[in-house]
């Protein structure tokens, strides 16, 4: 029996992630933001002035990836960074005013993408989708923490 990619969780989930990414990208492009910045914005909308380290911990993105994403965001005028007074190593990240006001539109876009991409699923299936993803992430989180 041969390996069938359309029965492989890893293959399928990569495909699905690209579908979501594509949908989100086209919907937030008018706002002047991109998919990589979106999770960062979500955190900052909730808590402005986080450090890079805090963003890395909350978003499970590698530090180097975060540094690059923040550099692009600063370049594009979405955030400003300034050194912490008490600790010269840490950079605090602050939203620029007009970005703080984009919250509603951005959230609407994200909810639209979720709804339309999952349109083929029943309400129960959509709930199950979320639960399964959370469980997989939890499994991985445990594995990683054991390993270290």
Q: Measure the CA dihedral 63/64/66/67, to 10°.
A: 120
With b for 16 or more beta-carbon neighbours within 10 A and e for fewer, the 118-133 pattern comes to beeeeeeeeeeeeeee
User: At closest approach, how far in Å is the CB of 1 from DNA?
Assistant: 25
Structure token digits, residue 139: 């499994």
Q: Does 9 bind DNA (CB under 7 A)?
A: no
Q: Does 5 bind DNA (CB under 7 A)?
A: no
Q: Does 117 bind DNA (CB under 7 A)?
A: no
- Residues 25 to 64 in contact with a copy of itself, rule: CB under 8 A: 39, 42, 46, 60
Partner touching 20 among DNA, a copy of itself, none, CB below 5 to 8 Å by kind: a copy of itself
Q: How far apart are CA 72 and CA 33, in angstroms?
A: 11
Q: Does 22 bind DNA (CB under 7 A)?
A: yes
Q: How far apart are CA 42 and CA 48, in angstroms?
A: 10
- Residues 46 to 85 in contact with DNA, rule: CB under 7 A: 51-53, 56, 61-65, 67-72, 81
Supply φ then ψ for residue 101, to 5 degrees: -85, -5
Sites of contact with DNA (CB under 7 A): 14, 18, 22, 34-37, 51-53, 56, 61-65, 67-72, 81, 86-91
């Amino acid at each position: 029996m041969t390996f069938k990619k359309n029965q492989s969780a890893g293959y399928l989930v990569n495909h699905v992630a690209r579908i979501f990414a594509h949908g989100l990208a086209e919907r937030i492009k008018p706002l002047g933001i991109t998919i990589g910045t979106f999770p960062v914005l979500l955190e900052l909308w909730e808590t402005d002035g986080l450090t890079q380290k805090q963003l890395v911990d909350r978003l499970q993105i590698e530090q180097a990836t975060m540094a690059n994403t923040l550099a692009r965001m600063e370049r594009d005028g979405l955030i400003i960074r300034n050194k912490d007074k008490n600790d010269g190593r840490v950079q605090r990240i602050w939203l620029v005013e007009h970005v703080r006001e984009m919250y509603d539109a951005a959230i609407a876009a994200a909810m639209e993408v979720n709804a339309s991409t999952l349109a083929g699923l029943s309400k129960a299936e959509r709930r199950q989708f979320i639960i399964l993803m959370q469980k997989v992430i939890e499994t991985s989180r445990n594995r990683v923490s054991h390993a270290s």
